[in-house]
A and B are shown apart, each in its own frame.
Chain A
């Protein structure tokens, strides 16, 4: 798939960066002319993935979160969120709705939200090496091109 545009950013796993990261990705996605609902879906999915890095991957430390977003033909955004944290022992279990290792105040819905709000989500992880979440969404054009 042809990549029409791309940006990368690295942020520390500080919780203040959750809102910063989702704002950056949604501002970039605006180039695809998304609806407000689509922007809201993207912001939510990014927020979940970045929060996972902070709460799980770098549980008791601060590390880098690497975020890449690409705009692909035909009007698709692909977002990669990668960490070099503790990794996920059992990805299938981690992706089950309501499963969490983080205790009572976390809903265990992060991956379920990403899967529900994006078209495709894939997770690659190796214990002690880190995790990469890749997700994509096709954006409907509000205004047709060449109109």
Chain B
């Protein structure tokens, strides 16, 4: 499984793992969107600690979830992004959409 979901109160945490590219982003998106729909969180945390590779498909994933959450005014946090993934998030200006926390 490439996404593990944890729900605590109004917080949904999605632990992503492996490689995020166009090929496998769709399944990840669907798992996260299901969890959002089911739990209506006020905060979604995307955890990248176990992601070994990510191209711009991962940015699409983050931006798409941000848009979904914005409908209900929920917040998005990103944790655990190591150097390579941090570089990609920075290039995309994700810090303007989501709070970035170190690993």
Q: Mark A1-43, 1 if CB is under 8 A from B, else 0.
A: 0000000000000011011001000000000000001001001
B91, A16: Cβ atoms closer than 8 Å: no
Verify B53–A109 contact, CB threshold 8 A.
Answer: no
Q: Contact between B60 and A113 (Cβ–Cβ < 8 Å)?
A: no
* Contact between chains at A105 and B25 (CB < 8 Å): yes
Interface residues of A in 92-123 (CB under 8 A from B): 104-107, 109-110, 112-113, 116
Contacts of B22 in A (CB 8 A): 15, 18, 51, 54-55
A146 vs B16: C-alpha distance when bound (angstroms): 43
Known: A107-B60, A110-B56. A47 touches B91 (CB 8 A): no
In angstroms, Cα B79 to Cα A93, docked, is 33
The answer, yes or no, to whether A83 is at the interface (CB within 8 Å) is: no
Q: Indicate if B99 sits at the interface (CB-CB under 8 A).
A: no
Q: What chain A residues lie within 8 Å of B26 (beta carbons)?
A: 105
Interface 1/0s, chain B 89-103, versus A by CB < 8 A? 001100000000000
**Chain A CB within 8 A of B77 CB:** no
A9–B67 alpha-carbon span in the complex (Å):
39
Report B-chain residues with C-beta under 8 Å of the C-beta of A104: 64, 67
Contact B91 A109 (CB under 8 A): yes
Whether B84 contacts A40 by the Cβ 8 Å rule is: yes
Query: Which chain A residues in 69-105 approach chain B with CB under 8 Å?
Result: 104-105
B43 contacts the other chain (CB 8 A): no
B64→A105 contact, CB < 8 A: yes
Which DSSP category, helix, strand, loop or mixed, fits chain A's interface? helix
Q: Which residues of B contact A112 (CB under 8 A)?
A: 91
Interface members, chain B 1-48 (any A CB < 8 Å):
19, 21-23, 25-26, 29
Interface residues of A (CB under 8 A from B): 15-16, 18-19, 22, 37, 40, 43-44, 47-48, 51, 54-55, 104-107, 109-110, 112-113, 116
**27 A-B contacts, Cβ less than 8 Å apart?**
A15-B21, A18-B23, A19-B19, A19-B21, A22-B53, A37-B84, A40-B53, A43-B53, A44-B88, A48-B55, A51-B21, A51-B56, A51-B57, A54-B22, A55-B22, A105-B25, A105-B26, A105-B29, A105-B61, A106-B57, A107-B60, A107-B63, A109-B91, A112-B91, A113-B55, A113-B56, A113-B91
